[in-house]
Chains A and B, each alone.
Chain A
Amino acid sequence: MKELPAIVIDASKCTARLACVRVCPTEAIRVRKGKLTVKPELCIDCGDCIVACPEGAIQPRTDPFNSIEAYKFKIAIVSPSLFGQFPSTISPVDIVEGLLAIGFDAVYDLSIESELFNKAIQDYLAEYDGPRPVISSMCPVVVRLIQVSYPDMVDQVIPLQPPREIAGREAKKYFSMKLKIPESDIGAIYVSPCPAKMASIKQPAEGARSHLDMAIGISDIYNPLLHAIMKFKKPKGPDQSSLPDNALKSRLVLSLAMTGGQSKALQQEHSISVAQLPNIIHVIEDIEKGKIRNVDFLECRACTGGCVGGPLTVDNRFVARSKLQDIIDRIGRERGSVEDEIESRYVKGDYFLVQPLKPRPVSAGSGTIFEQIERVKVREEIIKMLPGIDCSLCGAPTCAAFANDIANGEAESADCVLLSPERIKKLRRLYKIETPENHM
């Protein structure tokens, strides 16, 4: 078992099918000698490999559900994406009651925190005069991508705590006062759609301490939750015109779980919203060289559709998004009482990250500029030798990545099937391919 911030690899289950190698957006994964290896400094916690692996050898690093018992008072801080994961006959209220039935002592609504967060960003943008675009911090994968691959843009990321963190802090304060118990007895447990948010709790990007104590994947509690809901009631159905206060006070929290939701809420004139890492990388590259200009706000989400399509969600991401939109439409427009609550609770400047976000660039390898450029030249010579078909049978995702590995002394050209007949024999043994040759 090998642990990274967001994933756990069970090498014994790995059959070297290469799906993870091909899907990794930062080319962090290799298969060497039939075994999976990850360059931890390149991993940005997206979880694409978890979804891609046909053997389940890569798992999210979640906390087991029973570990919430470590706390006397257990608060569920729920990703709004959860509300889109059930049949439309099950309402948000049912889901909240279900969470209470399976062992949580309270379910904290993120509505007000989302509004406070949105207001804090508006204040931040009003005073911001740095380089553009300002980059949304909603998606922790994107934050890590920028730290790792675009260190110069780190200062463009909004330096505010996300709603879940603000909620962790506020919920603990609230229940500690209400129940007169120390905050250390209270567990703020995040119910997460992705491994990245779990990683952001265990190792926050800015290096501070999270206000959340642990994270449980939606997929890990889905079954018990669904059974609890089915058991205790006949679902009310989707005809509710409004929702009780204890489920969802505002629609914003749900919109933020979808790509484009934040840009819309901020009403930024020149904003673009992008989902999926290859698209995101493309857009950031274009911004970096000045091809994309005049963009003031950039919202990027690693998952298709946003958090509602996270790797730890259960329903089809497009269906889930549509259901979330239905719930948004059902939440009434009157939110006078919410506005009062936002006004009374908003404290300007109270939501900044405790420490600034720092770059986490990947070094180009050691040595003088002469040695480094020598490696570049070696790499170019190797690329000329390679077939350029990106078959990944060498264990690297592309011929270019393979050439890089050779230049860095991490692989040898004999790992290419087209350069070495020996390699083909080895692979036939590894994948147990029967050929007449094997029997000879």
Chain B
Amino acid sequence: MSDQAIYEKVFVVSGGDFDKAGQVSTEIKSILKAAGIDSTVIRRVAIASFEAEMNVVIHATDGEIDFILTPDHVILTISDRGPGIENIELAMQEGYSTASDDMREMGFGAGMGLPNIKKSCDDFKLDTEVGVGTTLHLVIIHRKS
């Protein structure tokens, strides 16, 4: 019962669209604020969703962010169609990045994306297939039971 979705919204993210990058994270934040979620939790969700959104923008052709709120959890599922991750272990290391030089010049690709996401979440799962895409399952607990 306690893990039933009380709110769900799916956001579409286009790869390469740096203009709109970060909007999903902003919208999720405002929903959580309106729902009265604790501000430290909101900040963790904001960081995780922003990094995940940026990963789609930087690396993939397109993707979706499925945002679910339950009475105890924030559940984010970020799935993209893109190159996938060849070496997960490397990708999880701080400072490792496959972002192109152009991206780095814009200040992206610091190699902190996945490690930051993992740090912000209570549960982190990554499924990836090279040449197909990547799916992240993220859970953040918002109510201490």
The answer to whether residues A364 and B33 also contact, given A152-B40, A286-B22, A369-B71 and a CB cut-off of 8 A, is yes
* Contact residues of B: prevailing secondary structure: helix
Chain B residue numbers with a CB within 8 Å of A370 are 6, 71
Closest beta carbon of chain B to A154's beta carbon, Å: 10
Chain B residue numbers with a CB within 8 Å of A151 are 39
Chain B residue numbers with a CB within 8 Å of A336 are none
* A377, B49: Cα distance in complex, Å: 21
Are B22's CB and A291's CB within 8 A?
A: yes
Chain A CB within 8 A of B114 CB? no
Are B25's CB and A289's CB within 8 A?
A: yes
Closest beta carbon of chain A to B33's beta carbon, Å: 6
Chain A residue numbers with a CB within 8 Å of B33 are 364
Are B26's CB and A285's CB within 8 A?
A: yes
Chain B residue numbers with a CB within 8 Å of A290 are 46-47, 50-51, 116
**Residues of B19-39 whose CB lies within 8 A of A:** 22, 25-26, 29, 31, 33-37, 39
* A291, B20: Cα distance in complex, Å: 13
User: Which of the four size classes fits the interface of chain A?
Assistant: 20 to 34
* A153, B58: Cα distance in complex, Å: 28
The answer to whether residues A377 and B40 also contact, given A291-B50, A293-B110, A369-B35 and a CB cut-off of 8 A, is no
- Contact check: which of A285, A288, A361, A372 meets B35 at CB < 8 Å? A372
Chain A CB within 8 A of B69 CB? yes
Chain A residue numbers with a CB within 8 Å of B104 are none
- Contact check: which of B34, B46, B49 meets A364 at CB < 8 Å? B34
Are A373's CB and B39's CB within 8 A?
A: no
Chain A residue numbers with a CB within 8 Å of B29 are 288-289
Are B40's CB and A364's CB within 8 A?
A: no
Are A289's CB and B36's CB within 8 A?
A: no
* Contact residues of A: prevailing secondary structure: helix
Are B34's CB and A372's CB within 8 A?
A: yes
Closest beta carbon of chain A to B47's beta carbon, Å: 5
Chain B CB within 8 A of A376 CB? yes
- Contact check: which of A288, A364, A377 meets B7 at CB < 8 Å? A377
* A416, B110: Cα distance in complex, Å: 47
The interface bits of chain B over 38-56 (1 if a CB of A lies within 8 angstroms of the residue's CB, else 0) are 0110010011011100100
Are A373's CB and B6's CB within 8 A?
A: yes
Are B6's CB and A369's CB within 8 A?
A: yes
Chain B CB within 8 A of A436 CB? no
In the complex formed, the residue of A with least CB distance to B42 is A152
Are A289's CB and B47's CB within 8 A?
A: yes
Chain A residue numbers with a CB within 8 Å of B143 are 369
Are A363's CB and B36's CB within 8 A?
A: yes
Chain A residue numbers with a CB within 8 Å of B69 are 373
* A404, B22: Cα distance in complex, Å: 22
The answer to whether residues A373 and B35 also contact, given A288-B46, A290-B51 and a CB cut-off of 8 A, is yes
Are A152's CB and B7's CB within 8 A?
A: no
Are B39's CB and A289's CB within 8 A?
A: no
* A367, B143: Cα distance in complex, Å: 15
Chain A residue numbers with a CB within 8 Å of B47 are 289-290
Residue of B31, B35, B40 with most partner-chain A CB within 10 A = B35
Are B50's CB and A365's CB within 8 A?
A: no
The answer to whether residues A288 and B43 also contact, given A373-B6, A373-B7 and a CB cut-off of 8 A, is yes
In the complex formed, the residue of A with least CB distance to B6 is A373
Are A376's CB and B34's CB within 8 A?
A: yes
Residue of A369, A375, A379 with most partner-chain B CB within 10 A = A369
The answer to whether residues A289 and B35 also contact, given A369-B6, A373-B69 and a CB cut-off of 8 A, is no
In the complex formed, the residue of A with least CB distance to B46 is A289
* A285, B27: Cα distance in complex, Å: 12
Are A364's CB and B25's CB within 8 A?
A: no
Closest beta carbon of chain B to A177's beta carbon, Å: 47
Chain B residue numbers with a CB within 8 Å of A285 are 26
Closest beta carbon of chain A to B88's beta carbon, Å: 22
Chain A residue numbers with a CB within 8 Å of B40 are 152
Chain B residue numbers with a CB within 8 Å of A363 are 36
In the complex formed, the residue of B with least CB distance to A150 is B39
The interface bits of chain A over 273-296 (1 if a CB of B lies within 8 angstroms of the residue's CB, else 0) are 000000000000110111101000
A residues contacting B by CB (< 8 A) are 151-152, 285-286, 288-291, 293, 361, 363-365, 367, 369-370, 372-373, 375-377, 379, 404
Q: A372-B35, A375-B34 are in contact. List 11 more A-B contacts (CB 8 A).
A: A151-B39, A152-B40, A285-B26, A289-B46, A290-B51, A290-B116, A291-B54, A369-B143, A376-B35, A377-B7, A404-B34
B residues contacting A by CB (< 8 A) are 6-7, 22, 25-26, 29, 31, 33-37, 39-40, 43, 46-47, 49-51, 54, 69, 71, 110, 112, 116, 143
A-B pairs, 5 with minimum CB distance: A289-B50, A364-B36, A289-B46, A290-B47, A372-B35
Chosen A-B contacts, 29 in total, with CB atoms closer than 8 Å, are A151-B39, A286-B22, A288-B43, A288-B46, A289-B46, A289-B47, A289-B49, A290-B47, A291-B22, A291-B54, A293-B110, A293-B112, A361-B39, A363-B36, A364-B33, A364-B34, A364-B35, A364-B36, A367-B36, A369-B36, A369-B143, A370-B6, A370-B71, A372-B36, A373-B6, A376-B7, A376-B35, A377-B7, A404-B34
